[in-house]
Structure 1
Amino acid sequence: MEAPNRTISIDNFAHGLSSYLEPAQILKVKRAYYYAEQAHLGQFRRSGEAYITHPLEVANILASIHMDHQTLMAAMLHDVIEDCGIGKDAIQQQFGRTVADLVDGVSKLAKIEYETQAEKQAENFQKMALAMAKDLRVVVIKLGDRLHNMRTLGVMPPEKKRRIAKETLEIYSPIAQRLGMNDWRVEFEDQCFKAMHPLRSARLQASLNQVRGNRRSIVEKIQLALEERLQRQQIEGLVIGREKHLYSIYSKMRSKHKSFKEIMDVFAFRIIVDEIDTCYRTLGVIHNLYKPIPGEFKDYIAIPKVNGYQSLHTVVIGKHGVPIEVQIRTKEMDELASSGVAAHWLYKANEIDSSAVANFDRANRWIKRLMEIKQHTNTSLEFVENVKIDLFKDEVYIFTPKGAIIELPTGSTAVDFAYAVHTDVGNSCVACRINDRPAPLSQRLESGQKIKIITSERSQPNPSWLNFVVTAKARSAIRHYLKNQRHTESLELGKRMIERALSHADYDFAELKEEQLQLLLQHTNVETVDDLFEAIGLGKVNAATAIQALAPEAQVEGGAPITIDRADGVLISFARCCCPIPGDPIIGHLSADKGIVVHRTNCNNVRDLRSKKENISDTHWAHTIDGEFMAEIRVEVLSERGIIATLATRLASTGTSIERIQVDERDAEHSVINLTISVENRLHLANIMRKVRTMSSVEKIYRVRNHKRSR
């Protein structure tokens, strides 16, 4: 979509505002313009135009979607803080606090030297997100600013064009989509396509121009048929043929591996009617006229998209097998689809439309979610990475047990659902039921499913969840929890280890004097006692080495005794080479950055580790232990048809689950099946093996002592 190459005057602009703003409001907008004009005096754009043309054009873009007068004033002033050295206080004195806050929110960060362009982009976006939380109009102004910049990219060097277009495609276009501003999203995508791939864009545009003439007669015939059938049923509706935009065609050609002709063979129409009831009546009429394609109907009126978009979608087969896409919606829904969250202000001046308010509320919920993600991320780059995950996903719609709808990205799991309900629910979830049946937490969810999350006060996030969660909220919350938990556990573990080391040297840590503590800190090159505990707990500093400043001759033959009371500690992990389970004799090895790694005492890998006695800790199981542990068993069987299914059924009856299975054929009649299963303890494992041993085709079953994988 190419914008007209013209520059408007302030008088023409002000005249256009009279269609929806009061005279007093228009005067305030003009005053903001003259203030900005004076501030930018002597500044010029790369094209040679006076700089004031840019803020005026941005305000004009915002006026086209009927934004309120304060937003237009902020648009006029949006660059004066950064480019003219005028402070926020000065703007507040002249135009009030609201306008000053909007201008400050849109202004880029002060010119700090960042290490990378990505870091600069991330910092700017993070500031914008924080400002959005205070007033959503900030992002609308920022989108209008970026839209005008994209329209005037022509004078930029090619490399800068590509960089700006890439950033727009990665962040601004998805934000426009999330806020329901579809017209802007389409223009963003087409302008970015043109800047990033000028030759492809030009060739595709030429092909599109060529087929338009050939398609016109078919489009007119289908449109006439639709209009006649609606009139016959006494339904008043506007039928419009929809043009696919360039970037959409290009994306479908690439993602679906289709030719230009295949994509252009589908004809698209939009039908706009007066009321919601009429939408459903119209759908029935269309399905009577043409046969619908099964599975292609979507009801976004009953369940709107996450950005508030509402419409009925169907695909039917017309005459001669021509596929026809039809969207059916009301006039208000159509305006919302174009303007999205901006429609909240469009309707605000008159009677507030409920769907516009609902759309506005959805946008605010999304921004609230952004702030939750912000709390759980350490850097702006990590924040932007997580936000991109949220922006680019399509949605599935999941029901809570009480019938409420939760919108999640496609590919979400029960853990994503749990965190969407509440962070505490996610942190304490242990299991789930999908449509009233037990299911794995990692199972991908589908629209329409009902999910119940089972929680436990003693549960905590499992690091393995990071392998399958897709929502930014779940990912950032799990990382945040694990990081804090790792810190807490390392402090506790490190304290126990240094106390034990000191006791061997006849010192009591609780009775150490301040100068003795300082001696320990200097010797280990850390600043605080907590830093010392954490370094020892993480295995970065050896406890025996740490106390040598106080007791140079001390000989420590082991770390602090460790008690294992659960399967999912952050700093206590279980060696994959020998898979220890409750009941096994065990030993702990302190590994740098991993904490304690637990092995079976007869593990082959422990022989090498025992040489460094100071890194070995006495380790034992608590009387009661929570969680499931992995055990590896090997089953030698006669090769029979269906043996794997029979074995899986037998294992399921013992209350275990199979985590991994591998089958090796020994010869034509015999196979060896290697299984990794979840067990509670040695007794549970013995019962499982006893049940499997009674199968007629099983010749031998035994537990694997040492797996070939390294520790």
Structure 2
Amino acid sequence: MIRQYELVERVKAYDPSADEDLLNRAYVFSMKAHGSQTRASGDPYFSHPLEVAGILTTLKLDTATIVTALLHDTVEDTVATLEDLERLFGKEIARLVDGVTKLSRLEMHSEQAKQAENFRKLVLAMSEDIRVLLVKLADRLHNMRTLHHLKKPEKRRRIARETLEIYAPLAERIGMHQVKDELEDLAFAELNPEARDSILAQLARLRSEGEDRVLRIIDELTRIMHDDGLPGVQVTGREKTPYSIWRKLQLKNVSFEQLSDIMAFRVVVDTVGECYQALGIIHSRYPVVPGRFKDYISTPKPNGYKSIHTGVIGPERNRIEVQIRTRDMHEVSELGVAAHWAYKQGQPRQGAREYRWLRELLDILEHAQKPEEFLEHTKLELFQDQVFCFTPKGDLIALPRGATPVDFAYAVHSEVGDHCVGAKINGRMLPLRTQLQNGDQVEVITSKAQSPVPGWERFVVTGKARARIRKFLRTQQRAQYIELGRAILQRQFRQEGYDFTEKALEGVVKIFQQPSADDLMAAVGSGLHSGREVFHAVFPGHKPQAQTAPREFDERAATLVKPKPKAKGKEAPLPIRGLIPGMAVHYARCCHPLPGDRIVGIITTGKGVTIHTIDCETLESFNDTPERWIDVAWDVGETADDHVGRINLVVANEPGSLGTLSTVIGKNGGNITNLKITNRNTDFFELLIDIDVKDAKHLTNIMAALRATPVINSVDRARGR
């Protein structure tokens, strides 16, 4: 545990003007406040805030941030209050501690609701002062380092998932790659230890086989730089992390050995001009790998990252990735916002709204209906794989991979997205569902008469676009429900011999826990309450007339845009939106659609609807009959049975390979239901395997685990069989 004087010395080493008295008082206050509290490991609880402060000293952060780290759990876990902190340490530190403090005393309906509300509070706090996020990331980093002390596996997995989905992307967004890499690796070790161990074993093997080769490559790159006039260059080699390799295996249909950028070589120089000089030296000496060149100096990433990346057939004919940057760029690439923190120059910032991604989160927060929806959209917004596109004026827009012109339009401005009617991509008019590629120039065409279309929600991938579309649809749907509810109540009142007036509802809105008469009519229109219930609340003494069951619900069901049929007996509701209740549904055997895939329905006379993936080759045969197409999507809110995912797989023909294959699938929650050998030779077997999985992501995880297995040569989803 760091001693009091050691902490002060660490801060004074990089900031001689640090307030030593303030640091000492915070140290003593936190130690006394936490008293005899202990952590799951058995260590004194005070060791945690002390370690968090220690992490932040390695980033050379200001005194107020270090003090906040020491005090960050006092309000949440001790009897100390924000008023105490403000009186003893000032308003600034009390505000920072409040931003980091969880809303632990809130009564929430679920763990997810609590997580969502806490994250909403964090976003608001860090929008005012980014130091809140720095403390939170250091707090999460130390908690992940000690995660193994928690006894409940489900709690460990929940914390690890939250880290992977939220905190690691947040660290990436502010350029703190060291923190991001460690958070991802610690979460990966908890969530998928078998895959991580497999990748580590293969890395160790490559390291033992190629350690001399790496040193020879570094020596040769250094020599050619010196020979061509760059004597001050520094060349190093860096392995990719196990998690980043795992993501590559998920996204690409390649084996572990086929990954070309497991080892990246960094060339660090003094100036920007020398970066391009080094690039010229490398390209003049070695063949370039097409499609592997990226210039993040002329076009920096949104988090400030600058570097030149290039792929070449380098020394000894090895295919390598080379990253070229200045020393300043290297510091920013590792520490991000902490590397050029304005507080160190005595220029305090009022907020962090200059970060575009943070402004996007605030915009999502404004349009989301509830905290859980905000959290869902935020995870979309923080998705790490990005494409970089340009406006006609040359402005850079960063979007998640798979984004469409509608996502681009909403990224430019919410109003542009709302009124988008078409898009020119690189000068060509293309459909709005077209997926954008790196370097595309996008011109959005708008019309004042246009408004968001329900179908857009099927293909947009950014949280901002989805939140805005959903808000518009909720508003539109609410208006429809109000009109429908009014019609139901008018008929109910007329049947009982009364004239309906909205004023009559004002006296009973509180009974139904509705804010206004419009809200009550919307509740009736949506089926939450019946017209008969409302009538009897308005006229409690009225005796109902003897009559047959009202047709109200039949008429309402026929009028509603989205009726929700109830399951009968043991029959579960179909997890697909956009279908007429009772319609027969089949899943196409040519493409085996899974929840998470983009899908389309094809009407077949006498058979109902067949569901295909949007990229299924069979769909070409229906191009001439557009009237048979139905716009459908998976309903993520429904729980569905297992679905069949089909994969093609090439496995080494050696003893135990089939056993290894089935073990990997089983450990990742899959169940083999059918296996067929389609080709065999002395070295390899080609297999066609059906696996019961929950959704497309589940199948992707299984495929990635298989790709990380030495006996597996290749894996991909089967199509057209």
Given the two structures, how large is their TM-score scaled by the length of structure 2? 0.70
Alpha-carbon distance between aligned partners in 2 of 1:52 and 1:522, rounded to the nearest angstrom: 49
Q: How far does the alpha carbon of each residue in 1:62-117 deviate from its partner, in whole angstroms, 9 at most, with x for none?
A: 01011111000000101111111100011011111111111111112234454433
User: Could you tell me how far 1:267 is from its partner in structure 2?
Assistant: 3.8
- Tell whether 2:26 aligns with 1:32: yes
Is the alpha carbon distance of 1:517 and 1:51 closer, same or farther for their aligned partners in structure 2, counting shifts above 3 Å? closer
**1:24/1:434 CA distance change after superposition, 3 Å:** closer
Residues matched between the structures, number: 573
1:207–1:527 CA distance, 2 compared to 1 (3 A): closer
- Is 1:100 the counterpart of 2:94? The answer is yes
Deviation at 1:320, TM superposition (A): 4.1
CA contact (8 A) 2:196 2:242 kept: yes
Distance 2:421 2:195 in 1: 51
1:415, 1:426 within 8 Å by CA — same for their partners in 2?
Answer: yes
State which drifts further: 546-555 or 169-178.
546-555
Q: Is the contact between residue 520 and residue 547 of structure 1 (CA under 8 Å) also seen in structure 2?
A: no
1:270 maps to 2:261:
no
1:435 pairs with 2:418: no
Q: Give the whole-Å Cα distance in 2 for the aligned partners of 1:525 and 1:122.
A: 24
Alignment of 1:536-551 (within 5 A): 537-538=525-526
Report how far residue 14 of structure 1 moved.
Answer: 1.7
Corresponding position of 2:393 = 402
Q: 1:330–1:351: structure 2 CA closer, same or farther, 3 Å change rule? A: farther
TM-score normalised by length of structure 1? 0.71
Matched letter for residue 357 of structure 2: W
Q: Distance in 2 between matches of 1:320 and 1:141?
A: 46
Matched residue of 2:382: which SS? helix
For the 8 Å contact 1:307–1:363, the answer to whether it is kept is no
Tell me the distance in 1 between the aligned counterparts of 2:2 and 2:459.
Answer: 52
Alpha-carbon shift at residue 505 of structure 1 (Å) = 9.6
Deviations 1:105-145, CA, capped at 9 Å, x for gaps: 11122344544333332232222122112211111101101
- Amino acid paired to 1:291: P
Following the alignment from structure 1 to structure 2, what is the Cα–Cα distance between the partners of residues 292 and 102? Answer: 49
* Residues 1:208 and 1:499: Cα distance change in structure 2 (over 3 Å): closer
> Quick one: structure 1 residues 280 and 362, their matched pair in 2 at CA, closer, same or farther if it must change by over 3 Å?
farther
Aligned mate of 1:335, from 331, 336, 361: 331
Question: What amino acid is the match of 1:591?
Answer: A
Q: Closer, same or farther in 2 for the Cα pair 1:593/1:368, shift >3 Å?
A: farther
Residue 274 of structure 1: CA displacement? Answer: 1.4
State the 1:436 CA deviation.
3.5
Does 1:534 pair with 2:522? yes
CA distance in 2, matches of 1:448, 1:94: 53
| Pair 1:218 & 2:169 matched | no
- Of residues 212-221 and 54-63 in structure 1, the stretch that sits farther from structure 2 once superposed is 212-221
Q: Which residue of 1 aligns with 2:276?
A: 280
| Structure 1 runs not aligned, ≥5 long | 1-6, 560-587, 598-631, 635-659, 665-671, 679-711
> Matches of 2:437 and 2:199 in 1, distance apart?
36
Return the alpha-carbon distance in structure 1 between the equivalents of residues 515 and 439 of structure 2.
55
Structure-1 residue corresponding to 2:180: 185
| Aligned partners of 2:220 and 2:315 also within 8 Å | no
The one-letter amino acid of 1:27's match is: D
The reply on whether 1:166 has 2:153 as its aligned counterpart is no
Distance in 1 (CA, whole Å) between partners of 2:509 and 2:49 is 58
Q: Given the superposition, is the C-alpha separation of residues 554 and 40 from structure 1 closer, same or farther in structure 2, using an over 3 Å criterion? A: closer
The offset of 1:279, in angstroms, is: 1.2
Alpha-carbon deviations, 1:285-305, whole Å to 9, x = none? 111111110111011112222
Q: In structure 2, which of residues 104, 109, 132 is the aligned counterpart of residue 138 of structure 1?
A: 132
Alpha-carbon distance between aligned partners in 1 of 2:22 and 2:621, rounded to the nearest angstrom? 78
What is the correspondence of 1:639-678 to structure 2 with a 5 Å cutoff? 663=621, 673-676=624-627
For the pair 1:90 / 2:87, whether they are aligned, the reply is no
Return the match for 1:425 from 412, 416, 425. 416
- What CA distance in whole angstroms lies between the structure 2 residues aligned with 1:370 and 1:143? 18
Relative distance call for 1:33 and 1:543 in structure 2 (3 A) is closer
Aligned-pair CA distance for 1:408: 1.4
Instruction: Report the 3-state secondary structure (helix = DSSP H, G, I; strand = E; otherwise coil) of the residue aligned with 1:279.
Output: helix
Q: Is the 8 A contact 1:242 1:269 kept in 2?
A: yes
User: What's the counterpart of residue 654 of structure 2?
Assistant: none
Correspondence for 1:464: 455
Q: Show the 5 A alignment for 1:483-562.
A: 483-492=474-483, 494-495=485-486, 528-535=516-523, 537-538=525-526
Secondary structure of the residue aligned to 2:209 is helix
* 1:53 match: 47
Q: Alpha-carbon deviations, 1:345-377, whole Å to 9, x = none?
A: 2x642499xxx99xx968732222111111222
Structure (1 or 2) with the larger CA radius of gyration? 1
Higher RCO structure (Cα 8 Å, ≥6 apart)? 2
Task: Look up the match of 2:466.
Answer: 475
Indicate the RMSD between aligned Cα atoms, in angstroms: 4.0
More displaced stretch, 380-389 vs 210-219: 210-219
- How far apart, in 2, do the equivalents of 1:24 and 1:351 lie? 12
Structure 2 residue 394 is matched with structure 1 residue 412: no
Asked whether the 8 Å contact 1:267–1:323 carries over to 2, the reply is: no
Matched, 1:321 2:317: yes
Q: Residue 696 of structure 1 corresponds to which residue in structure 2?
A: none
| Structure 2 counterpart of 1:438, one-letter code | M
Measure the CA separation in 2 of the matches of 1:675 and 1:242. Answer: 53
CA drift of 1:455 comes to 2.5
* 498 and 265 in structure 1: CA distance in 2 versus 1, 3 angstrom threshold: closer
